[in-house]
């Protein structure tokens, strides 16, 4: 069912942050930082994949994602919804269902046998594609996925995520230079604000997280010495 309600963006950001905190998708630990896939450490970690196990929250957030892209990109802007392997696949399926559009997915690399495909499902030249993923950090994986989509002859000028880190410089500008607009429901700043409002962590922890968010590279460099 296509959502017909359009909450203000600030409300969407606040409610998304609250729901991520409610299901324990957000982790803060300044004493024992997390090691991310990049190998770098941080006092923050988010697991948007947990959302697939919470149908009520998942449903609301997928409505939010659908109305965000319709409001920001257009009601008839897309012909195909693509999920990025692997975390983006279920969310692309949920959004495609709401927008009554076909859904495909894009692999991180060619499968290595058979058709050696990166795109799975039906995609045709000229289709206008929305790339959906769970989150965005520095935008690197988005560009790889967009290029694979464009190699089919389709166009892809928009990507939508539940969560955007919004702590690394020039991410939106880098994506824009590749002809891609990023749409996101909330950021670390929204989560930090809501966590502080609910007093879910000690003020010492929240202050340490804020130091990291203000300058993650300096925070990491200080702890590498």
Residues 102, 108, 109, 111, Cα dihedral to 10° = -60
Determine the Cα–Cα distance for residues 168 and 117; give it in Å rounded to an integer.
32
pLDDT value for 116? 66
* pLDDT tens, per residue, the chain with 225 residues: 777 778 999 999 999 999 999 999 999 999 999 988 778 899 999 999 999 999 999 999 999 999 999 999 999 999 999 999 999 999 999 999 999 999 999 999 887 665 668 999 999 999 999 999 999 998 888 999 999 999 999 999 999 999 999 999 999 999 999 999 999 999 999 999 999 999 999 999 999 999 999 999 899 888 876
pLDDT value for 8? 95
pTM of the model: 0.94
Determine the Cα–Cα distance for residues 105 and 46; give it in Å rounded to an integer.
23
- All structural domains of the chain: 9-215 (3.40.50.2020)
Task: Give the residue from 183, 187, 126 showing the smallest Cα distance to 158.
Answer: 183
């Amino acid at each position: 069912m296509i959502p017909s309600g359009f909450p203000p963006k600030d409300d969407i950001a606040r409610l998304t942050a609250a729901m991520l905190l409610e299901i324990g998708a957000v982790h803060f630990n300044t004493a024992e930082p997390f090691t991310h896939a990049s190998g770098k450490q941080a006092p923050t970690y988010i697991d948007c994949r947990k959302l697939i196990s919470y149908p009520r929250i998942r449903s609301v957030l997928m409505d939010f994602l659908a109305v965000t892209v319709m409001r920001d990109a257009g009601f008839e802007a897309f012909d195909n919804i693509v999920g990025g392997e692997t975390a983006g696949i279920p969310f692309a399926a949920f959004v495609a269902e709401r927008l009554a559009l076909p859904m495909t997915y894009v692999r991180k690399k060619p499968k290595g046998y058979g058709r050696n495909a990166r795109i799975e499902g039906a995609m045709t030249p000229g289709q206008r594609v929305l790339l959906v993923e769970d989150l965005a950090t520095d935008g690197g994986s988005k560009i790889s996925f967009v290029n694979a989509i464009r190699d089919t002859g389709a166009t892809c000028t928009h990507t939508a995520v539940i969560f955007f880190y919004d702590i690394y410089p020039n991410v939106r500008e880098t994506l824009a230079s590749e002809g891609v607009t990023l749409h996101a429901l909330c950021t670390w700043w929204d989560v930090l604000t809501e966590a502080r409002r609910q007093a879910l962590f000690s003020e010492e922890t929240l202050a340490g997280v804020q130091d990291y968010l203000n300058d993650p590279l300096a925070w990491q460099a200080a702890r590498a010495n």
